[in-house]
Structure 1
Amino acid sequence: MGSIEQTAEVRYTRADGLAEALRGADALFVYDFLSTAVPDAWHGADRLRWLHIASAGVDPVLFPELRDSDVVLTNSRGVFDDPIAEYVLGVILAFAKDFAGSLRLQDEARWQHRETERISGTHALVMGTGPIGRAIARMLRAAGMKVAGVGRRAREDDPDFGTVHASDRLAEHLPAADYVVAVAPLTEQTKGIFNATAFAAMKPTARFVNVGRGELVVTGDLIEALRSGQLAGAALDVFDTEPLPADNPLWSMPNVLLSPHMSGDFIGWRNTLVEVFADNFRRWTSGLPLRNVVDKTLGYVPSPPQER
């Protein structure tokens, strides 16, 4: 932020001082991307023109007053694409090769030979065809998996997915998937889309991976599907309540892999997020078009027409 401080007055604030810090400010950098402080402080935004958030998801700041305003919203799209794709490949391999089982046996000093699964030739269905979903598709295909996407419109000639199914036909394509990956943005259409009906459509050997938003999933329905054997396993990096409460049954389920919202957080990610904002700040002060402008009606940065 040093270069920005040479050309602008920079105010640093916590949530309780945000309303006052917003008064007279032209731009707001929401570095704490999990903060919900912006809506309550919005009355202080008397001349704000641009808001940037240090995440790909924008739901914490996409409240009605911002959506209806002339304030431009940008995000940090592109920072987490490959790291999250690596995470997804990692948990798929962890399931297939039963790494959790090996660690449990190692703790018990037990030599127990087992056979494991291949991932080559298995089917992955990725819901979300933005940059992160595309990075996931490319990495899984490189590992020999067959991948299809779920997006806003169906098509057969996608450069990364090959086939993309329309999101309103999701249930029809869940039964064929060995791995279902959720990476879609949170919108009114996607909230709670992975519910009891969706889990019932999956085959009992399938695994579910969520690296998108916790609210994409009806957590109680997922827990029941895992308990009943309707679903073989789940790898979860995001939750509808964070931190995940200590008494949540997901913690103790042997067929669940949990991580604390860190699938994209590589060493140096915080500095990279600041660099993304600094680059956009230079563009903004130079009168150049901003990168990663969010369509506030859709709730995300639109992809080129051929990738939607």
Structure 2
Amino acid sequence: MSGTETPVLAVLRGDKHPPDMEPIEEAAVVRYTDADGLADALRGADALFVYDFLSSAVPAAWHAADRLRWLHIASAGVDPVMFPELRESDVVLTNSRGVFDDSIAEYVLGQILAFAKDLPRSLRLQAQRTWQHRESERVQGRSVLVVGTGPIGRSIARLLKAAGLRVSGAGRRERAGDPDFGTVYASDRLTEYLPEMDYVVAVAPLTEQTKGMFDARAFAAMRPQARFINVGRGELVVTADLVEALRTGAIAGAGLDVFDTEPLPPESPLWTMDNVLVSPHMSGDFIGWRNALVEVFADNFWRWRAGEPLRNVVDKKLGYVPSSG
């Protein structure tokens, strides 16, 4: 946009005010709003910063976006704003790819170690003051399939390889010689490769092609000793099928950070299963993550003001930022 024009920026903040916004407030008219006021904030706005990235308020307020040219969401996943009107519009969509890569990779390694070293049971036995010697598993040499070969998947692959695991990937295109995954399998042939894996990590973006990809057929293809870890989107999984696979021993365990309904309902059987590790959508949330999200937005804001190319531009047909993966 023109560097002499003062832009109007709508910020969907939810119950948290984004930090470090003072420089942007000096360069733009900033309208902070919650979901109820979003439509009013969008009228005449040039840009929208969806800081409350879990909100589903944007589609309902979209009719008021009469001047919008750019929308930035403070997350890597863009499914909350991938509705038909946005897809078909000229509004540029950017995301916060890159902020959570390493912290999510550390989370995945932590989950694998927790399963292999039986740490949840150790905590339960400690609470009971029970001394029960057990043997634990090695992680070195274990096979891992990372389903999703974007930046987060690549960070996971690099860290797991450094810990001695054998890593491969599953993505849109099958190929060999990938620098991080070695072999990348085609996601649409997933069940052919699942039987070879000790751990399966779901980190794929949520699209029409990936929704429900981990269903009864997928879990039946996995070996009984395998563990499933989901740090992508809850909707990648058919939850009832996962519960049944865990209940019957079709798979050995699951580490779950995302769910199709959040918060996870109190009545969900996943809460009480001994072979399930539940965390509240926090795998990427390191200390300082909110500041890091605003840094990414601010970098793009100054680029946008200067008419420079934006980073992390989402292909609205694909539903994510294109990469080599």
TM-score computed with the length of structure 2 as normaliser: 0.93
Of 89, 109, 113, 1:69 maps to 89
CA offset digits 1:83-118 (Å, max 9, x no partner): 000000000000000001111111111111100000
Matches within 5 A, 1:77-88: 77-88=97-108
User: Secondary structure, in 3 states, of the residue corresponding to 2:229?
Assistant: strand
User: Percent identity at matched positions?
Assistant: 77
Name which of structure 1's ranges 103-112 and 191-200 shifts more when overlaid on structure 2.
103-112
CA distance in 1, matches of 2:250, 2:182: 29
* Aligned partner (choices 34, 38, 47) of residue 14 of structure 1: 34
1:280 Cα shift?
0.3
The CA distance in 2 between the partners of 1:200 and 1:107, in whole Å, is 35
Secondary structure at the residue paired with 1:5?
A: helix
| Paired position in structure 2 for 1:291 | 311
What are the superposed Cα offsets for residues 66-97 of structure 1, whole Å, 9 maximum, x if unpaired? 00000000000000000000000000000000
Given the alignment, which residue of 38, 57, 71 partners 2:58?
A: 38
Following superposition, the deviation at residue 208 of structure 1 comes to 0.1
What's the CA shift string for 1:39-58, capped at 9, x where partnerless?
Answer: 00001100000000000000
Using the TM superposition, give the Cα deviation of residue 157 of structure 1 relative to its aligned residue in structure 2, in angstroms. 1.0
Q: Take 1:176 and 1:200, find their aligned partners in 2: how far apart are those partners?
A: 13
CA shift at 1:169, angstroms? 1.1
Deviation of the 1:5 alpha carbon: 1.0
In the alignment, what sits opposite 1:128?
148
Post-superposition Cα deviations, 1:233-290, rounded to whole Å, max 9, x if no partner, equal 0000000000000000000000000000000000000011011101100000011100
Q: CA RMSD in A?
A: 0.4
Q: By how many angstroms is 1:135 displaced?
A: 0.2
The answer to whether structure 1 residue 95 and structure 2 residue 123 are counterparts is no
Partner SS state of residue 10, structure 1: strand
**Which residue is equivalent to 1:51?**
71
Aligned residue runs from structure 1 range 1-308, under 5 A: 1-303=21-323, 307-308=324-325
Partner secondary structure for residue 91 of structure 1: helix
How many Å separate the matches in 1 of 2:131 and 2:270?
A: 28
SS in 2 for 1:6: helix
Structure 2 counterpart of 1:26, one-letter code:
D
Deviation at 1:7, TM superposition (A): 1.1
Superposition misfits of 4+ residues, deviation over 4 angstroms: none
C-alpha separation in 1, matches of 2:292 and 2:146: 26
CA drift at 1:295: 0.1
AA aligned opposite 1:287: G
Report Cα offsets for 1:208-250 as digits up to 9, x if no partner. Answer: 0000000000000000000000010000000000000000000
Q: Distance in 1 between matches of 2:173 and 2:59?
A: 32
Q: Which amino acid aligns with 2:26?
A: Q
Distance of 1:176 and 1:61 partners within structure 2? 36
State the partner residue of 2:14: none
Give secondary structure in 2 for the equivalent of 1:11.
strand
How many residues are matched? 305
* Superposed CA offset, 1:18-59 (max 9, x none): 000000000000000000000000011000000000000000
**1:168, distance to aligned residue in structure 2 (A):** 1.1
Where does structure 1 lack aligned partners over 5 or more consecutive residues? none
